[in-house]
Chain A
Amino acid sequence: MTAAGALNSCAAWAASPSTSTFSTASTPAREVNDLSFFVLAISAAIFIGVSALLVYALFRYRARPGESMEPPQVFGSVQIELAWTIIPILIIVMLFLGTARVLFSVQDAPKPATALDVTVVGHQFWWEFRYPQFNVVTANELHVPLSSPAAPRPTFLKLTSADVMHSFWVPQLAGKTDLLPNRVNEMWIDPLRTGLYVGQCAQFCGMQHAKMLLRVYVDTPEQFQQWIAQQQKTQIEIPGVTQPAAFESKQNSTANQRPPAQLKPASLSSIVPDSITSRDGQLVFEKQACINCHTVAGTVANGRYGPDLTHLMSRDTLAAGAMPNTPENLKAWISDPTTFKPGSLMPAMRLTDRQNAQITAYLLTLK
């Protein structure tokens, strides 16, 4: 499991996981893959047979110089027409039966009691993942447990959309399923190998459709439990900030006198100057419109329009996979999201550089 551990570290960005539909790691993708080779083989045979006849006819019946006679005129033959009607019908019956078997076994698979439920909500241009069994909400990076044959634990996804149509596609795990507003679709995966699986939105959903990337981390059952336990923790509110009136009165007297809070690595000082504390950042964050759209569980921030930030620093990427989650990128993203994703619905708040640094300092504590 060290490989999976490595993938979960920051080095995961450099790794290049496959998006090939032929490199499967889950039953729905595998069954489709087997079917696809069956169909490919039949198609290849038809192609070779028919094109060989065509090439032969073109060569054999080319006009030769000096011949002026028209060839014998043939108008048709009922027997031959019947033959090339009936043979394709037989091929189609075979293909259809093969398809129906996979279609029903994947789409109508019963849901076992051990299954993990995840609700996926598509947004322009990011993914919301909710784990109703654990009261966990996260964004863009889905964690699911391994489903080994010995201890099967498939993940059943309920898919819906908050705005326009999207489509959930991680080719190694399963085919795609669309996310529609006003409707709930379902699909399932049972990943058979741990590791990182990537994909992206497969239904055009607006300007940044191309950067609505998806990451699925398949953890061992133990890792998954740890991850869930970590995600269930809430963050700490600053006393007094929950009451806006009190916040206003205390702003000048006490806010600046608080001792520096959480740790800040020295290497960050170019991005977040040492004079800035995360507590200042939290004040700025909670005073600005940030909290209208973002949730940080345990604090006043409870917006649902943008991604849940409660454990932002547990994620490898920012902005639905648009960039690695580094302090530089984080600050740059907050300063002006449109430089990374023009058309992103997160506005540039036009804050001062200091305020951006403060918010970055705060977000860096959301582990």
Chain B
Amino acid sequence: MDIPSVPVPGQVGAVIDRTPPQAARGTYLEVVHSWVVTVDHKKLGILYIVYALIFLVVAGIEAILIRIQLFVPHNTFVSAATFNRLFTMHGTTMVFLVGMPILFGFGNYLVPLMIGARDMAFPRLNAFSFWISAFAGILLYYSFIGGVGLAGTGSAPDVGWFAYAPLTERAFSPGHTIDYWAVSLLASGIGSIGTAINIIATVFCMRCKGMTLLRMPLLPWLYATVSFLVIVAVSPLTAAQAMLMIDRYLGGHFFDTQAGGSAILWAHFFWIFGHPEVYVLVLPAFAFANEIIPVFARKAIFGYAAMVAASVGIAFISLSVWAHHMFTIGMTSFGNAFFTLSTMLVSIPTGIKIFNWLATIWGGKIRFETPMLFSIAFLFQFLVAGLTGIMLSISAWNWQLHNSYFVVAHFHYVLVGAIVFMIFAALYYWYPKMTGRMLDERLGKWHFWLMVIGFHLTFDVMHIPGMLGMPRQIYTYEPDRGWTLLNQIVSVGGFIQGIAVLIFVYNLVHSYFRGETAGADPWDAWTLEWSIPSPPPAYNFAVDPEVASRRPLWDIKHPEDPDSAFE
């Protein structure tokens, strides 16, 4: 490792770039052209984020339609066929067109800035990955106008986001619904793997002078971990999609049970992707928390080395837990016991993380601005999500809870309560860096409180119908089951979250034009991206930065007490 012989605190001061942002914007066409042909990691990052936010709104509308249909039993707001398409598209969109792209977007934008690099290792691969992912999303949504047309919701996929075989075989899903699903996931998988390779190469080869692996901020560390996980986890999904298409069109029998294929084989392939995928999505959320919580608590992250170890540990353990989605599929009792234990083990590194965040705020001076508010809600919600996760890992109890609304509540606690909340936190935190303007704090508080109220109305209550026997993915239910009132509360909470997101979208657009000017370092933060102007110039750093500690800007701001003295 290349450690400077004499660490000089404040050395990065020399790199602070005073160049004004590009003044000339060019014509409208030139601007569009510049975004289409760009290989700049910051522009691609923003493209990813905007693309994901558009699909977040689309998936949100699908969720609202789902909740209207479930508001009363035997509702006929949408047909059975439409409902099945809505929840399939909602799930697929949120995971593949919102979660992955937005996290890759932040990774693209932040990883080079935080390690003091001028771009990603492979800028053109980066552009290719984005555009193939964008193509995948458009292809998937094109299905709405295929088949019987938009009114009948076309040939949108209707088999649930995990698309269990053999329902996806041509005998049971004629037409092209599954083809849209499989091909667009294949395409998005290629994009994801491309980005993962790029992030790994960037993190390991492009760090600035003085930034050893253990001086790297936690965000690049977690993105490197996630990228390894993407390569290991997305490949089986891509393989499974290819096998499914071979089954459908080339006479293969991998999952074709009518010709001796195996339904369980699909489940294994899907979940060896599907469970690590949860950590692919949640580790970046942890990464945001690792950056935001210390800045707003005004304290260095507690237990940096333990946090790195816990993240890598989660990634390793997450590869051995997939069959906890299959406790009811007919595994042996020893199989069930193994996956119970392996799943429970995840809670150890996860617990370490929660305790370290707690210790970070302990003794700090906490500023309650919007990014921190979302991070605090994340801490509570992730704690609950972890505990319901332990409940679901209890294989015997899982026989009751599996595929019920309890599971739906649990994974929304993770995906919304932890991941979407941290995405909001990250947007409030880094939006000033990306645009040069602050998001409106008053609208931000409205957004936060409506989101918290709506979230808890929806997803706290949603656990109960699950324990009262309500299965997921049903387009209607019987009035005598005692689920009606609970579903109505859940729906009302969903509508409130919808309003919150509308406020947020308004805030994003409004602040872009009218927001307060941010300056280089609005949060008084400590990592390298805050040392350059907002928005950063195309070349990022005028001079290659050199660091002597994990918090180079702390060293500059506190020459009397630099971190580099302790490392």
Chain A residues packing against B (C-beta within 8 Å): 16, 18-22, 28-29, 31-32, 35-36, 39-40, 43, 46-47, 50-51, 53-54, 57-58, 61-64, 67, 70-77, 80-81, 84-85, 88-89, 92, 95-96, 99-100, 102-104, 106-108, 124, 163-165, 167, 169, 171, 174-178, 180-183, 185-186, 199-211, 213, 342-343
For the complex, what is the distance from the CA of A165 to the CA of B328, rounded to whole Å?
12
A165 touches B167 (CB 8 A): yes
B304 touches A75 (CB 8 A): yes
**Contacts A/B (CB < 8 Å), 18 sampled:** A16-B481, A21-B400, A35-B397, A54-B376, A57-B362, A63-B365, A81-B356, A95-B344, A99-B395, A165-B263, A175-B396, A175-B399, A178-B330, A185-B329, A202-B404, A206-B167, A207-B84, A211-B476
B380 touches A106 (CB 8 A): no
For the complex, what is the distance from the CA of A70 to the CA of B260, rounded to whole Å?
68
Residues of chain A with a CB closer than 8 A to B80's CB: 207-208, 210, 342-343
**Given contact pairs A61-B366, A73-B300, A200-B471, a sample of 12 additional A-B residue pairs in the complex whose CB atoms are under 8 Å apart:** A50-B354, A57-B362, A63-B298, A71-B363, A76-B304, A88-B347, A88-B351, A99-B337, A181-B258, A182-B261, A204-B159, A204-B160
A61 touches B304 (CB 8 A): no
Residue of B nearest to A199 (CB): B469
Residues of chain B with a CB closer than 8 A to A199's CB: 469
Residues of chain B with a CB closer than 8 A to A54's CB: 358, 361, 376, 379-380, 383
For the complex, what is the distance from the CA of A29 to the CA of B366, rounded to whole Å?
47
With known contacts A50-B383, A88-B351, A103-B333, A181–B263 Cβ distance under 8 A: yes
A57 touches B358 (CB 8 A): yes
Instruction: Mark the stretch among B228-236, B386-394, B514-522 that contacts chain A.
Output: B386-394
A210 touches B396 (CB 8 A): no
B167 touches A167 (CB 8 A): no
B302 touches A75 (CB 8 A): yes
With known contacts A54-B380, A100-B337, A167-B328, A61–B365 Cβ distance under 8 A: yes
CB-CB nearest 8 A-B residue pairs: A175-B399, A19-B469, A210-B474, A16-B480, A185-B330, A181-B257, A76-B303, A63-B365
For residue B305, CB closer than 8 A to chain A, the reply is yes
Q: Closest CB-CB distance, B462 to chain A, in whole Å?
A: 15
For the complex, what is the distance from the CA of A28 to the CA of B328, rounded to whole Å?
14
With known contacts A63-B367, A67-B365, A84-B351, A209–B397 Cβ distance under 8 A: no
A180 touches B330 (CB 8 A): yes
B566 touches A205 (CB 8 A): no
For the complex, what is the distance from the CA of A163 to the CA of B351, rounded to whole Å?
43
For the complex, what is the distance from the CA of A106 to the CA of B400, rounded to whole Å?
13
B383 touches A21 (CB 8 A): no
A62 touches B358 (CB 8 A): no
For the complex, what is the distance from the CA of A112 to the CA of B471, rounded to whole Å?
32
Residues of chain A with a CB closer than 8 A to B304's CB: 75-76
With known contacts A54-B379, A175-B396, A209–B303 Cβ distance under 8 A: no
Residues of chain B with a CB closer than 8 A to A100's CB: 337, 340
For the complex, what is the distance from the CA of A99 to the CA of B402, rounded to whole Å?
16
B473 touches A209 (CB 8 A): yes
B471 touches A169 (CB 8 A): yes
Residues of chain B with a CB closer than 8 A to A16's CB: 480-482
For the complex, what is the distance from the CA of A209 to the CA of B81, rounded to whole Å?
11
A-contacting residues, B76-94, CB 8 Å: 79-81, 84
Residues of chain B with a CB closer than 8 A to A77's CB: 303
B328 touches A47 (CB 8 A): no
For residue B348, CB closer than 8 A to chain A, the reply is yes
A-contacting residues, B243-283, CB 8 Å: 257-258, 260-264
A213 touches B302 (CB 8 A): no
Residue of B nearest to A100 (CB): B337
With known contacts A16-B482, A53-B358, A75–B345 Cβ distance under 8 A: no
For residue B398, CB closer than 8 A to chain A, the reply is yes
For residue B492, CB closer than 8 A to chain A, the reply is no
Which of B81, B303, B400 makes the CB contact (< 8 A) with A29? B400
For the complex, what is the distance from the CA of A135 to the CA of B256, rounded to whole Å?
31
Chain B 511-536 near chain A by CB (<8 Å), digits 1 or 0: 00000000000000000000000000
Q: Closest CB-CB distance, A214 to chain B, in whole Å?
A: 11
Residues of chain A with a CB closer than 8 A to B489's CB: none
For residue B364, CB closer than 8 A to chain A, the reply is yes
B368 touches A342 (CB 8 A): no
Residue of B nearest to A105 (CB): B396
For residue B467, CB closer than 8 A to chain A, the reply is yes
A203 touches B166 (CB 8 A): no
Q: Closest CB-CB distance, A66 to chain B, in whole Å?
A: 11
With known contacts A75-B300, A199-B469, A343–B81 Cβ distance under 8 A: yes
With known contacts A39-B394, A75-B300, A182-B257, A46–B387 Cβ distance under 8 A: yes
For residue B384, CB closer than 8 A to chain A, the reply is yes
Which of B341, B395, B397, B403 makes the CB contact (< 8 A) with A203? B403
B344 touches A183 (CB 8 A): no
Residue of B nearest to A59 (CB): B366
B328 touches A71 (CB 8 A): no
A107 touches B364 (CB 8 A): no
B328 touches A177 (CB 8 A): yes
Which of A58, A63, A80, A204 makes the CB contact (< 8 A) with B473? A204
A-contacting residues, B123-144, CB 8 Å: none
For residue B179, CB closer than 8 A to chain A, the reply is no
B329 touches A180 (CB 8 A): yes
A39 touches B390 (CB 8 A): yes
Residues of chain A with a CB closer than 8 A to B401's CB: 21
A36 touches B380 (CB 8 A): no
Residue of A nearest to B380 (CB): A51
For the complex, what is the distance from the CA of A85 to the CA of B345, rounded to whole Å?
11
Q: Closest CB-CB distance, B487 to chain A, in whole Å?
A: 13
B403 touches A74 (CB 8 A): no
Residue of B nearest to A185 (CB): B330
B481 touches A62 (CB 8 A): no
Residues of chain B with a CB closer than 8 A to A175's CB: 328, 396-400, 402
Which of A58, A75, A99 makes the CB contact (< 8 A) with B566? A75
For residue B478, CB closer than 8 A to chain A, the reply is yes
B397 touches A39 (CB 8 A): yes
Chain B 165-183 near chain A by CB (<8 Å), digits 1 or 0: 1110001100000000000
Residue of A nearest to B327 (CB): A175
Residues of chain A with a CB closer than 8 A to B347's CB: 88, 92
With known contacts A39-B397, A103-B336, A203-B164, A70–B298 Cβ distance under 8 A: yes
Residues of chain B with a CB closer than 8 A to A210's CB: 80, 473-477
For the complex, what is the distance from the CA of A71 to the CA of B304, rounded to whole Å?
18
Which of A58, A80, A103, A182 makes the CB contact (< 8 A) with B361? A58
A47 touches B383 (CB 8 A): yes
A19 touches B474 (CB 8 A): no
Q: Closest CB-CB distance, A106 to chain B, in whole Å?
A: 6
For the complex, what is the distance from the CA of A28 to the CA of B558, rounded to whole Å?
63
